[in-house]
């Protein structure tokens, strides 16, 4: 058993991104195991049979396999920017529920048998809600970044990346500025380092923001 917590992660997964963001800002060192989704390691599946990232295994064997729970665990240890004071559970639930539903069906219409443009339009409603909130203070819960921003941003990033030209043409100036600022931040750069997929016997990869 590792003496550090083990994080099974996938670089481009928005759920894994927000877990890494919280771990990084908290200064928590972990052993990072990058996962190839088409060949998930048996060790990860044994820890969490549902087979989705992130999976966070503590040195005592406890497993946290929901991204928001990983964020709260890390920030309970150390929250130097006071992210926990700037959150909005209802907004995050809307992101994780209806918006994620639209995102998947916009990005993967063949997989879901969906009308991509209809789901893009539906998702746009949520983006306008975010833009209106950001117009007031610059971040979702005030003038500086918090948990709500970090929980939502990776999903907005994925939505924007489906058709960047279309996204850039939308009247969402506050949202576009907010997204660009987070994507260009040192924190985001630190959690987006590329690693080869982990295999049993590999030397540990230590990750910290």
In tens digits, the chain (209 residues) has pLDDT values of: 568 999 999 999 999 999 999 999 999 999 999 999 999 999 999 999 999 999 999 999 999 999 999 999 999 999 999 999 999 999 999 999 999 999 999 999 999 999 999 999 999 999 999 999 999 999 999 999 999 999 999 999 999 999 999 999 999 999 999 999 999 999 999 999 999 999 999 999 998 75
Report the predicted TM-score, pTM, of the whole model to 2 decimal places. 0.96
Does 1 reside within a domain?
Answer: no
* Residue 28 and residue 98 in one domain: no
Q: Where are the alpha helices (DSSP H) in the chain?
A: 14-26, 42-47, 67-77, 89-94, 100-107, 109-112, 116-137, 147-162, 164-169, 173-183, 186-191
* Residue 91 and residue 184 in one domain: yes
**How many domains does the structure of the chain reveal?**
2
């Amino acid at each position: 058993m590792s003496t550090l917590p083990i994080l099974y992660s996938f670089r481009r997964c928005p759920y894994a991104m927000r877990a890494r963001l919280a771990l990084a800002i908290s200064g928590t060192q972990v052993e990072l195991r990058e996962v190839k989704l088409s060949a998930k390691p048996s060790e990860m599946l044994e820890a969490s049979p549902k087979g989705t990232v992130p999976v966070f295994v503590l040195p005592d064997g406890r497993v946290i396999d929901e991204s928001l729970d990983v964020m709260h665990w890390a920030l309970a240890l150390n929250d130097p920017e006071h992210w926990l004071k700037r959150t909005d559970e209802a907004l995050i639930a809307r992101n994780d529920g209806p918006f994620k539903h639209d995102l998947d069906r916009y990005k993967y219409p063949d997989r879901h048998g969906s009308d991509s443009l209809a789901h893009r339009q539906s998702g746009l409603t949520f983006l306008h809600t975010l833009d209106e909130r950001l117009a007031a203070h610059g971040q979702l819960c005030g003038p500086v970044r918090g948990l709500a921003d970090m929980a939502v941003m990776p999903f907005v990033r994925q939505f924007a990346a489906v058709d960047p030209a279309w996204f850039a043409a939308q009247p969402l100036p506050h949202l576009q500025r907010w997204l660009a600022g987070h994507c260009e931040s040192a924190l985001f750069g630190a959690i987006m380092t590329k690693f080869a997929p982990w295999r049993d016997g590999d030397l540990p990869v230590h990750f910290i923001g």
